[in-house]
Chains A and B, each alone.
Chain A
Amino acid sequence: MVYLSFLLRRMGLSVFVLVGVLILTFIVSRVIPSNPAALYAGARPRPEQVEEIEKKLGLDKPLTEQFRVYLADLLDGDLGESYHSRRSINTDLSIFLPATLELVIAAVVIALVFGIPIGTLAGAYPRSPFDYATRFVAIAGVSVPSFWLALIAQSVFFSQLGWLPLGSRISRDATLFYPIAAQTGFYLIDAAISGNWDAWFDALHHLILPALVLSAYPLGVTIRMTQASMLEVLSETYITAARAAGLSRPVILFKLALKNAIMPALTVVGLSFAYSITGAFLVEVIFSWPGVGKYVTEAVLNVDFPVIIAVTLVVTVFYIGVNLAVDLIQALLDPRVRLI
């Protein structure tokens, strides 16, 4: 019962945030540009075209009516049409969103797989050289700008060593000779489904560098959080008891302590997943990764408001969704949270 009311309260808050963002984005798209029809018409339209477009976009109607239509379209799941390309934004996002998600998921997986063991060990051996080294890596990961890291990574792994490609999601050879049949939009999955292993390796090869760069932030956060809560947990009496009972160090660290230490780390990683979606924007541009970031960057350059707003909405929904999920999981695992 307590859980149910907590759930409803949290969901209510999420809806509130979503409505706020909806209103803000509407104002930004319809009120701030002094002439949306001219934006839609593109470079050098004729007067008749601008008039036609005003009618087509419903800009001659009152703002409240425009907002009603906008909401109705959104509830139908229609994000609208790009001013610049006339393409449906739903179609575009169905192409670009999987690319971004593939990158972000890979980055978060890297962060977890490397971050948790490193953080655990750093917590287990405080003030050791390993601890200091991981602190340095973690703080660097969180504070170094991703675009700088991306350029350095390109210069080392592409220009100097020649191990990894400069950018893009798949090689030209793969496109020409063993193209991936698009199904989910996740190249690793699509290539695996069709047994196209040449393309699978190719896609993985292209994924490594941008995913590593993008993982810097969540990796740093995961290391720091795991290390901090590990330190705390290791000073608990039950750990001392386990030690006294003669349990081996790995068992104490990874079985007993980590279970309790991992919660705060997971919370932050959940949030940094949402953060990484926007963090991916810069990384995508530098690695020519055809995802939402590259898509919205072009939209910003073309002042393509419907696209900018649709992406803002989608990212908001992700943020809210991940936030909500993290809250709910926490409450499920730790009853004290439900009372807040």
Chain B
Amino acid sequence: MKRLLLFCIALSLLLTPLFVSVAQDRNVFVYGHPVAFPNLDPSSGNSNENVVMGNVYETLTFYNAPGSDEILSPKLAVSWEASEDSLTWTFNLREGVTFHDGAALNAEAVKKALDRTISIGEGSAWIFWMIDSIEAADELVVQFNLNTPAPLDLVLSAGYAAWIMSPNAADQDNAWFNDGNAAGTGPYMIASNEPGQRMVLEAYPDYWGGWTVGQFDTIVFEIVEDPTVLEQMIRSGDADFTYSLPFDNYGPLADASGVSVVVTPSFQNLLILLNTVKEPTSNKLVRQALSYSFPYADVVTNLYAGMGTQARGPIPANMWGHGAGLLQYSQDLDKARELLAEAGYPDGGFSLVYTHVASDLDEQQVGELWRASLAEIGVDLEIRGLAWEAQWDLAINDPASAQEAFGFYWWPDYITPNSWLTGMFVSEEEPFFNLSYYSNPDFDSLVAGASAISGTDRVAAEAMYVAAQELLLNDAAAIYVVDLPDIHVVRDDVSGYVNNPGYPHVVFFYDLTR
């Protein structure tokens, strides 16, 4: 026995020195990623693999991080223009760009790539619904013909589905991409893929942007589900970047040496849609009372550790189309009581059903905090956790018997206020995502009008979007709970990191140095 034990210890000691890092001659960046990459097909991938896509593929236009002068900047297209009716769009492509497989970027390649995505029709491909046809007008000129006026320059900057892959890759099927093959124009190529474990990207030497000293030549994604392990990795310097740790862990991490916690607003928010069809929430005064009953400050400080911000209307504060002067409800129980009395419910006396995704503890706690406040105005709240599709099914089957309050996260597929306003609030014949069943012809026409001119006159469109939100807030179709933060942990010796919520959790490694 003793000998065996000694043998084991000796073996461990013997093996240890074999594993000192030999990676000194490479400039390696390690991204500790909390989930695997489900679908590496740039046409249909609609999930966390966007952090890979954003570095391997590029889009025609690029959505700039909030705070930039312009909303968009050129990427594979250097310039673009829309016809006056926004129905014909012409994009001039960048010269001298090559794909990782050596093919040249030209109008035919762009057409073939986007046609592939549109014909597969999965994931976020629906963002191209307005495209009638794509034409290669010249070697480097692509023309898009639309059936409805739309801001195509914004659509083509999307962080999902808008990637341009090489013409050879466009001939391949989903399995080819998921074997770890890729051919984009981005600064990095997929070098190896061990599903569920690790992916390695290597710099593409012929990248059109060129390379300078200090940039990372090797990127490693380590897939680690356990947040404790992720935290150990970032603390010890074994990872350079991570996210998705428990809220409580960020405080101590921010004090740790060598690590920064970067908190910036994301484009995702949490709302509670109120049933505008069923009594008593069909009464606008009741919905307003509910809006005044909600404990916004409590949720922001206690649940999100002060890192989120109370939402002001549906559009996040750092996005175009947000109205800084819009009505913002805050908790005022006296006002809520007054409104209830005016609506004919002087002591409350009714009960509501709030549904949320069962596995989402944040949504559940939002419900619990709200229930405590509602109890004070005589309203009872039943909190019901359901599987997502069961929650949704309950809402779309029959509004008259559906839940009164529907907890809902929203984020845009491409960055436009239209995503929230049309997605959740424009009248629908059959309910789909308008789960407050809100219907207001004035609102509908403002949103449609804004959408039509948002490609050509963004300033005017913005004003119309804000006017539409005014109606929405007055009608209290939803409770706007919180604009969620992006919380990223970065090692201090990495410079150049800026979070761009337009591409959630994507680190653009090309911009970084060590």
Residues of A within 8 A of B (CB): 33-36, 38-39, 42-49, 52, 82, 84-88, 91-92, 95-96, 114, 118, 151, 154, 159, 162-173, 175-177, 179, 198, 201-202, 204-205, 208, 285-286, 288, 290-291, 294-295, 297-298, 301-303
Contact = CB atoms under 8 A, between A and B. Distances in A.
B467 interface: no
Nearest to A286: B226
B221 to A, nearest CB: 11
B286 interface: no
B21 A173 contact: yes
Interface in B441-462: none
B41 interface: yes
B389 A39 contact: yes
Nearest to B129: A46
Given A49-B121, A85-B38, A87-B39, A285 B198 contact: no
Interface stretch (B12-20, B241-249, B325-333, B477-485): B12-20
Given A49-B122, A85-B178, A205-B19, A288 B223 contact: yes
Contacts of A159: 232
B393 A34 contact: yes
Given A175-B200, A301-B359, A87 B178 contact: yes
B268 to A, nearest CB: 11
Interface stretch (B22-30, B252-260, B291-299, B375-383): B22-30
B197 A168 contact: yes
Given A35-B392, A303-B388, A92 B195 contact: yes
A303 B222 contact: no
B174 A86 contact: yes
B220 A46 contact: no
Given A171-B19, A201-B15, A290-B223, A34 B198 contact: no
Given A167-B224, A175-B200, A95 B38 contact: no
B186 to A, nearest CB: 20
A164 B225 contact: no
A113 B224 CA distance: 31
A290 B194 contact: yes
Contacts of B121: 49, 52
A205 B18 contact: yes
Interface in B181-219: 192, 194-198, 200, 218
Contacts of B178: 85, 87, 91
B197 A205 contact: no
B350 interface: no
B106 interface: no
B15 A205 contact: yes
Given A290-B194, A290-B196, A172 B226 contact: no
Contacts of A96: 195-196
Contacts of B41: 86
Contacts of B433: 44
Interface centre among B18, B44, B198 (most CB of A within 10 A): B198
A86 B39 contact: yes
B175 A298 contact: no
Given A35-B393, A171-B19, A43 B35 contact: no
Contact of B387 (A45, A82, A303): A303
Given A35-B393, A46-B126, A84-B47, A175 B38 contact: no
Contacts of A163: 12-13, 16
Contacts of B16: 162-163
A157 B377 CA distance: 56
B196 A82 contact: no
Contacts of B194: 169-170, 175, 290
A285 B226 contact: yes
Interface of B: 1, 4, 12-13, 15-16, 18-19, 21-23, 26, 28, 30, 35-36, 38-39, 41, 44, 46-47, 121-123, 126, 129, 174-175, 178, 192, 194-198, 200, 218, 220, 222-226, 228-229, 232-233, 238, 359, 387-390, 392-393, 413, 423, 430, 432-433
Contacts of A52: 121
B245 to A, nearest CB: 15
Nearest to B18: A201
A172 B389 contact: no
B175 A169 contact: no
Nearest to B224: A288
B195 A290 contact: yes
A295 B194 CA distance: 13
B143 to A, nearest CB: 25
Contacts of B174: 86-87
Contacts of A46: 126, 129, 432
A225 to B, nearest CB: 19
B393 A202 contact: no
A295 B16 CA distance: 30
Nearest to B428: A47
A168 B195 CA distance: 12
B122 A202 contact: no
Contacts of B19: 165, 171, 173, 202, 205
Contact of B175 (A33, A44, A91, A208): A91
7 contacts: A34-B390, A42-B47, A168-B197, A172-B28, A285-B226, A288-B229, A298-B196
A166 B39 CA distance: 27
A202 B15 CA distance: 8
Nearest to B432: A47
Interface centre among A46, A47, A114, A151 (most CB of B within 10 A): A46
A205 B175 CA distance: 32
Contacts of B226: 167, 285-286, 288
B18 A175 contact: no
B229 A286 contact: yes
Closest CB pairs A-B (n = 7) = A85-B38, A290-B196, A290-B197, A34-B393, A38-B389, A46-B126, A35-B389
Contact of A44 (B35, B129, B238, B413): B413
A294 B35 CA distance: 10
A85 B58 CA distance: 22
Contact of B389 (A34, A49, A86): A34
A113 to B, nearest CB: 9
Given A95-B195, A286-B229, A303-B388, A86 B122 contact: yes
Nearest to B232: A166
A86 B47 CA distance: 12
A290 B200 CA distance: 16
Given A82-B38, A88-B175, A202 B18 contact: yes
Contacts of A154: 229
Contact of A294 (B123, B129, B196): B196
A172 B239 CA distance: 11
Contacts of A48: 126
